[in-house]
Amino acid sequence: MTMMEKITGKDEQLRDSHAVVPIPDRLKKNEKIVIITADDTEDIEFFYPYYRLTEEGYTVDVVTPDGGKFEAKHGLGLNTSKSISAVRPQDYVLLYIPGGQAPAKLRKNEKVLNFVKEFARSGKPIAAICHGPQVLISADLVKGKQVAAWPEVENEIKDAGGIFVNEALVEDGQLITGRKPGDLHRHLYGVIEYLRGTVSNQSREQRRAS
């Protein structure tokens, strides 16, 4: 084995080590969440919700356009993901879209957009952070909605008929959005609160109006 093969093999092992271990039965919920991403996603924006939602007992399926391994922007990643063609929106209670450079690729993929649109028709929550809302823009989901995102996405949101909001957590209907990596703790709190059913429709409207 050459030195390059040894280095490559070590990198693959490190990447694979980030996968979550099976959830103990006593903690496991009978519900699944889907995270859609691709190469060059922002590492922390993928792994924070991936681990946090698993910690809550949800089975989290990681989906990429073609399945298999992917590498995040700063070198982390996973060796295994499911293909967008192999999953169904009706099997999940939440769709999560991390940011980074991945959304720029995802928004050009017709299968990804069709999945997102079908998921949206179900009325179930869709969470996106940083550049993640770019996928929602391309799926025609932001018109008339308040949306948080990375500042560079502000004009895109407005051009699509949405309302840009510079806050860590913005809930409008089924959309739960945030601006940047530093918002993740607040954003995930809002996502989990929504999934637990502890946020009433009235309080959502109050947040929207504030």
List, by residue number, the catalytic residues. Answer: 131
Q: Are 6 and 68 in contact (CB under 8 A)?
A: no
d(CA 29, CA 4): 43
d(CA 18, CA 94): 22
DSSP state of 169: -
Strands 126-129 and 94-97: parallel
Q: How many residues does the chain have?
A: 210
For the chain, report the end-to-end CA distance as a whole number of angstroms: 62
